[in-house]
Amino acid sequence: MTLPLSSLPAGLWRASELAQYHRAGQPTGFAALDAELPGAGWPHGAVTELLSERPGIGEWRLLAPALRDLTQAGQPVMVIAPPMLPYAPALAGWGIDLRWLSVVTRPERNAPRSAPATRTSTRTTTRTAIRTAAGTTTRARSVRAEDRDMLWCAEQALKSACCGAVLAWLPAATPEQIRRLQVAAGGGDALAWVMRPPTAAATASAAPLRLGLSVGEDSRLGVQFHKRRGPPRTEPIWLTLPAPYVRAEHPTQPVAGDDAAVPLAPRPAPSPAPSAVPSASASGVSHGLLDRPAPAISRARDRLPANAG
């Protein structure tokens, strides 16, 4: 006797078929990807790992449709430890309501101090070596503490049950820490994405969905399925992403009778009870021109004013 798939309890699925969830997934905005995901979208109450060689290859544009739908519905989104401060005009241009977006950044590290001058005294050299070793140990501890702080932020955001989604960059996360995030996500319905390097694919993970991202030509993004609740898929699927955001040097205002005038990007729809989020940093934190190759980011940032918002 074969039981219908809908009668299987949560957490069980046939290896030859995609698992079905009691709640449909959040549409990704890409039909080809939805067709390959259990629940036909990003899973609620579960961690999704996105593994990529470097940031900015298309992960923001991949998640933009879901982030747009969530924020326009008034659901808060928490962005934790991004490698660069997200560029607000690009997010707004994709329809993301910035008033429902909160960003938690890593603390700035102090500039390394210059090495002490060389002394001829053996005793002085020994004391200098001890001080240098102690400083190195302190910096290593601070980095580990910083990673723990970012993990704590992600875990608390998921446990709070007030976020529609949590997006975190945790390259140094251990399997035990990913399991903690999965347990926290399982207690609610929030979407959870964790960015990690591709080397993490060789380690165990409690995340039910693990996708590898690779860059292609003409704004294409390859999605490799490392883990999903369903049959294995060895070949990646290629998605055509929206064009990356380009900052206009001289925005053109529409002119009456001028059909060639380029209109300004529309503002996102208003939402009730917004929470403000800054689009610039007075401390000089660099903004990420989202999903642009590293050389393009550097050239574009050189053209921007120091305190551009």
pLDDT in tens, 12-61: 655 655 656 667 889 999 999 999 998 899 999 999 999 999 998 999 99
Residue 3: the pLDDT is: 58
- d(C-alpha 119, C-alpha 71), whole Å: 60
Residue 267: the pLDDT is: 45
Residue 15: the pLDDT is: 60
- d(C-alpha 190, C-alpha 170), whole Å: 18
Residue 189: the pLDDT is: 93
Q: Which two tokens stand for residue 95?
A: 């329809």
Spans of the chain below 50 pLDDT? 111, 113-143, 250-287, 289, 292-309
Residue 214: the pLDDT is: 94
Residue 116: the pLDDT is: 46
Residue 108: the pLDDT is: 76
Residue 154: the pLDDT is: 97
Residue 274: the pLDDT is: 43
Residue 144: the pLDDT is: 76
What is the average pLDDT value for the chain, to the nearest integer? 75
- d(C-alpha 28, C-alpha 34), whole Å: 6
- pLDDT per residue as tens digits for the range 235-274: 999 999 987 776 655 444 444 443 333 334 444 444 444 4
